[in-house]
Structure 1
Amino acid sequence: MRRPVVLALLAMGLVACSEGDDSSSKTDDTQKDARPEVSVHKVSRGPVENIAELPGRVQSVRVAEIRARVDGVVERTLYQEGTDVEAGDPLFRIDPREMQARLDSAEAILQRAEATAANAQQDLDRYEQLVTDRAISRQDYDTAQVRTRTALADVAEARAAVATARLQLEYTNVKTPISGRAGRARVTEGALVSAADGTLLTTVEQFDPVFVNFSQSSADLLEMRHQVASGELELPDDELVPVQLVLENGREHKQEGYLNFTSMTIDESTGTVALRAQFPNPDHQLLPGQFVRARLHLGTWPKGITIPQRAVRMHDRGATVMRLDEDDVARVQEVELGQMKGGDWIILDGLEVGDRIIIDGWQQARADEPVTPVASERDSSSDNERDSGRHGR
């Protein structure tokens, strides 16, 4: 009788153990299911373009101040304000009558001087034979030579006066020395202008191409030179630094420019180095004085790190990401950001190759708690490309 009872108790114990094991496994599965599922990106290195973004101002390549070069009254304005003009186009006309009278007077003086010089030359020619025949003294002949030289000098002076008067007459037609866009007139018809004061009539600015002036911190420049010397940063072989502009509305300027000037001195007040780039501007989209942001392509980091923008959280103290440790526990990791490249941040410090960071689902993840990692579409596509490359080989 005792044996059947023992067997029944053993059977009940086995059932209880079985139920206990099932409940334990169910608890583990429940804990795993409670972990939030996150999309994870694995950090790797690759070529990353070094882009520095600096604020700048647009400047005209050439600016001509059109000023009065003769005294007189503005007779007529010959251009339309705000329009494009070509080099040599007349912009203003100053009353020419006074300058014309001066030219006429100078030409009359020239004619008289030429007549006097011709007469003196004839006398000298006659005296030359007479002095040979000893009909006149040597002193009279020398006096005739001096008189001839003086007359010729008077002719040269009179010709210079004629040239000056003719030039003054030409200045009554005020022309632009460069092609560009003419600004508003600073004087009206009937205004008295002065050459001595250099009365400003208008300005003409050349808008194609244009300059963009900006400055870079001397510390950043020194750091870049150190990176180039150490091999961390590679500069282009042609030494041309391309520059892209971002306009005030956030759009990029269609035309790419190049850095064409770097100052060899540092501004003591700001600690910066002056830089300048030149841009084609056929559509006159860039205007002098306009604020822009210049993106300088300063070489390439052969072993740079980039991560998706959505993986980064910005705080008052800086930027952080959620990094997974070996046990899939989320840890808050501070990172130092560089420039934005497309939809990725360039990471200067804080991450190493092989680190796993959360790019999607970090809103559900909590610091120092485990998560369920899933490879991101970005990493999956990269793995597929590598696999297809291996199969192809």
Structure 2
Amino acid sequence: MPCLTPRTLATLALAIGLALTGCSPTPKPPQKGPSEVGIITLTPQPQTLTSELPGRTKAWMSAQIRPQVSGIVKQRLFTEGSEVKAGDALYKLDPAPYQATYAQAKASAAETKATLKSAQLKAKRYVELAKIDAISQQDNEDAQASLYSAEAAYQAAQANVESARINLNHTTITAPITGRIEASSVTPGALVTASQDSVLTTVQQLDPLYVDITQSSTDVLRLKRQLADGTLVGADKDSVKIDLLLEDGSHYGHAGQLQFSAASVSESTGSVTLRAVVPNPEGLLLPGMYVRAVVTEAIDPQALLVPQRAVTRSHSGATSVLVVIDDKVEQRLVSIERSVGNQWWVSSGLSAGDQVIVEGGQKVRIGDAVSSVTIQPAAGPAAVATN
């Protein structure tokens, strides 16, 4: 028997070890369990729907001041940009010509009054004389006709007096409404004419203010259809509040009230005009300002809201969510109407009771088995659906 060296024995032991290792079964990797995902269960809830629409402010009342008689401006009696009250004197025209006309009218009236008095006495006397045949019937009738003529002349003279008085009063031009007065277009010494085209100044009442809001006829038609088929419930007109966003993005501190909606569509813009009334006690708003109006449109009594993080959008623009059905992942195409805070209002594609994946959706594929964990939505202030 040959002698085995230590080196030979080591090599032989290594070979035997490798052979034994090759005969052992290969261990299987551990089975992966279902992925854990966070879900919410959809529950219908009433939701107020609003739209953010463009609008412009407009004075509650606006009066353009024009002269009602012609004359020379003697005085301007107001400070430009100040507040005036209805009846305050704004301009004084030269009254001299109208004072003379008024005096002449009164004198003429006095003359016709005297003529009337004489005609009355003569007619009365002729009636008595006619009874005893002291005068002819013709003379009596002539006296009565003269009386009627004198009465008419006196009434005309009285009307002339009143007209002259009115014209004299119109030499003082007064404010027809209470409000803020703008710059004057004339100075003392200027000649103005009755009912001229150019205005002397303008007075505007700024509290409250109108806000004229425009909404596309397409949106109006969609809303009316949803109201007609019962999808939405119309908001009570008397309770519809209007919130304003100013040009700098800040919220206006006073809510407005919807007053009316126009009955026709503008052919040039394809929009419908809504009018709201907004308080303006501090005078912050001025006519012509651009604002964004948040208008309450309707109420969805069975609204389904989905967190925005649960919704994905494809390259084609289709929106979808992942739902769990029988512990497996499925995809649902959904229609999104508008945002509600950090959620989407879903109009189709989902139903009450659906379990929507809101966490862990990026780790699973359609058809995967999953383990669901209910996520409690974060509490927060109530939001409205804004278009």
Coarse TM-score class (shorter-chain normalised): 0.7 to 0.9
User: Compared with structure 1, are the counterparts of its residues 192 and 214 closer, same or farther at alpha carbon in structure 2 (3 Å cutoff)?
Assistant: same
Write the deviation string for residues 112-159 of structure 1: whole angstroms up to 9, x where unpaired: 111111122122222222222322222222222222211111111111
2:114 maps to amino acid: A
Does residue 20 (structure 1) correspond to residue 27 (structure 2)? The answer is yes
Alpha-carbon offset, residue 58 of structure 1: 1.4
* 1:306 aligned onto 2:313: no
In the alignment, which residue of structure 2 is the partner of 1:91? 90
For 1:247, give the aligned amino acid: L
1:197 alignment counterpart? 196
SS of residue matched to 2:200: strand
2:43 & 2:107 partners in 1: Cα distance? 89
Shift of 1:229: 2.7
After superposition, the Cα gap between the structure-2 partners of 1:179 and 1:245, relative to the gap in structure 1 and judged at 3 Å, is same
Who is 2:80 aligned against? 81
Q: CA deviation at 1:303?
A: 1.5
CA contact (8 A) 2:309 2:358 kept: no
Q: Does the 8 Å CA contact 1:60/1:205 hold for their aligned counterparts?
A: yes
1:110 to partner: Cα distance: 0.8
| Structure 1 match to 2:356 | 356
TM-score norm. by structure 2 comes to: 0.78
SS state at 2:259 partner? strand
Shift of 1:170: 1.0
Whether the 8 Å contact between 1:41 and 1:376 is mirrored in structure 2 is yes
Structure 1 residues 196, 274: CA separation in 2 closer, same or farther (over 3 Å shift)? Answer: closer
Instruction: Work out which of the two has the higher radius of gyration on C-alpha atoms and give 1 or 2.
Output: 2
* Aligned length in residues: 360
Corresponding residue for residue 13 of structure 2: none
Code of the aligned partner of 2:89: P
- 1:20 aligned partner, one-letter code: P
| 2:324 and 2:357 in contact (8 A); partners too | no
Q: 2: CA distance between counterparts of 1:334 and 1:190? A: 77
Partner Cα separation in structure 2 for residue 44 and residue 109 of structure 1: 89
Is the alpha carbon distance of 1:246 and 1:366 closer, same or farther for their aligned partners in structure 2, counting shifts above 3 Å? farther
RMSD of aligned residue pairs (Cα, Å): 3.7
Q: Which residue of 2 aligns with 1:124?
A: 123
* Cα deviation code 1:243-263 (max 9, x no counterpart): 222222222222222222122
- 1:328–1:84 distance in 2 versus 1, CA, 3 Å: farther
CA distance in 2, matches of 1:349, 1:274: 30
More displaced 10-residue stretch of structure 1: 309-318 or 222-231:
309-318
CA distance in 1, matches of 2:309, 2:177: 51
Instruction: Supply the distance in 2 between the matched residues of 1:28 and 1:312 (Cα, whole angstroms).
Output: 27
Shift in Å at residue 265 of structure 1?
Answer: 2.7
- Do the aligned residues in 2 keep the contact of 1:68 with 1:199 (CA within 8 Å)? no
Alignment deviations for residues 43-68 of structure 1 (CA, whole Å, 9 cap, x no partner) = 44321111122211212222111111
Alignment of 1:34-73 (within 5 A): 42-73=41-72
Equivalent pair of 2:313/2:320 in contact (CA under 8 Å): no
Q: Show the 5 A alignment for 1:1-393.
A: 20=27, 24-25=29-30, 42-236=41-235, 240-309=239-308, 318=317, 320=319, 323=322, 336-349=335-348, 351-353=350-352, 354-358=354-358, 365=362, 376=375, 378=377
Secondary structure of 2:233's counterpart equals coil
Amino acid at match of 2:344: W
Deviation at 1:231, TM superposition (A): 2.1
Please give the TM-score of this superposition, normalised by the length of structure 1: 0.77
Structure 2 unaligned residues grouped into runs of 5+? 1-15, 381-387
> Greater CA deviation, 148-157 or 281-290?
281-290
CA contact (8 A) 2:50 2:296 kept: yes
More helix by share: 1
